């Protein structure tokens, strides 16, 4: 039975992933700051805390993780122009969306390397694509996702030597708390698309930035 570990699994895409892989017969380890009500095996995790991440690592010592799904994220203030930037809020978004996924991936690299699938998936956004950005809004979120993209791209070159494939996904504009009620697709559509692609991923896909339907996104 393959194992998946999901961060930010209490709602939205994280919960959708947990429900999908539970139905598919996987061992599902769901994590969130408050683990109450999570699908599968519930473990507490604050992705911004070194101590919390280390506690998770200790509880999973020696256990293989076939698929690490770094999903936890926040948007921060929207519509923020250059004037009057809240730098503390910007730093928080960078901590959660860019630094924390790398912290979790680095901490669990041994577990992933011990598995059969050896796959790390990071939920990014097309809003982190510099090539595709022509908007002046959401500077915090866009820059954090761009930072995540580059960090994973660099990290993937290191982890590839251990047989680990690291891949970034744009989940689509999804109707979640983050995406809003007016988003283009629902959680089921996004999860179905991403999991279909994930099923086919291997080491040759290392370092890709992919749309939920399988097409590559320009950096």
Residue-level pLDDT at 137: 77
Instruction: Report yes or no on 217 lying in a domain.
Output: no
Answer whether residue 51 shows pLDDT above 70: yes
What distance in Å separates the CA atoms of residue 69 and residue 85, rounded to the nearest whole number? 31
Residue-level pLDDT at 183: 67
pLDDT per residue as tens digits for the range 68-125: 999 999 988 876 667 778 999 999 999 999 999 999 999 999 999 999 999 999 999 9
pLDDT: which is higher, 132 or 179: 132
Residue-level pLDDT at 76: 85
Instruction: Report yes or no on 100 lying in a domain.
Output: yes
- Burial of 51-74, coded b for 16+ CB within 10 Å and e otherwise, reads ebbeebeeebeeebbbbbbbbbbb
Instruction: Report yes or no on 19 lying in a domain.
Output: yes
Q: Predicted confidence band at 60 (pLDDT cuts at 50, 70, 90)?
A: very high
Supply the CATH number for residue 66's domain.
3.40.50.720
Instruction: Report yes or no on 219 lying in a domain.
Output: no
How many structural domains is the chain composed of? 1
Instruction: Report yes or no on 218 lying in a domain.
Output: no
Contact of 165 with 177, CB cutoff 8 Å? no
pTM of the predicted model, to two decimals? 0.94
Among the ranges given (67-76, 133-142, 163-172), the one the predictor scored with the smallest mean pLDDT: 133-142
Among the ranges given (45-49, 109-113, 180-184, 209-213), the one the predictor scored with the smallest mean pLDDT: 180-184
Among the ranges given (70-79, 152-161, 172-181), the one the predictor scored with the smallest mean pLDDT: 172-181
Instruction: Report yes or no on 216 lying in a domain.
Output: no
Q: Which domain holds residue 41?
A: 3-211
Among the ranges given (40-44, 132-136, 137-141), the one the predictor scored with the smallest mean pLDDT: 132-136
What percent of the chain has a predicted confidence (pLDDT) above 70?
A: 94
């Amino acid at each position: 039975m393959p194992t998946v570990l999901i961060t930010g699994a209490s709602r939205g895409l994280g919960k959708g992933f947990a429900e999908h892989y539970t139905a598919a017969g996987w061992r599902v380890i769901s994590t969130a700051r408050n683990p109450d009500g999570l699908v599968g095996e519930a473990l507490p995790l604050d992705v911004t805390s070194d101590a919390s991440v280390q506690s998770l690592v200790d509880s999973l010592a020696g256990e293989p993780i076939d698929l690490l799904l770094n999903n936890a994220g926040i948007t921060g203030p929207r519509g923020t122009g250059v004037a009057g930037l809240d730098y503390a809020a910007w730093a928080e978004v960078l901590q959660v969306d860019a630094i924390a996924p790398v912290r979790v991936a680095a901490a669990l690299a041994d577990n992933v390397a011990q598995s059969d699938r050896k796959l790390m998936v990071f939920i990014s956004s097309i809003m982190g694509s510099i090539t595709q950005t022509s908007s002046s809004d959401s500077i915090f979120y866009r820059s954090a996702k761009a930072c995540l993209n580059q960090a994973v791209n660099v990290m993937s070159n290191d982890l590839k030597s251990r047989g680990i494939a690291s891949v970034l996904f744009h989940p689509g504009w999804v109707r979640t708390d983050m995406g809003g009620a007016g988003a283009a697709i629902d959680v089921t559509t996004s999860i179905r698309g991403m999991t279909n692609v994930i099923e086919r991923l291997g080491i040759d896909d290392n370092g890709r930035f992919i749309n939920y339907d399988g097409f590559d996104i320009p950096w």
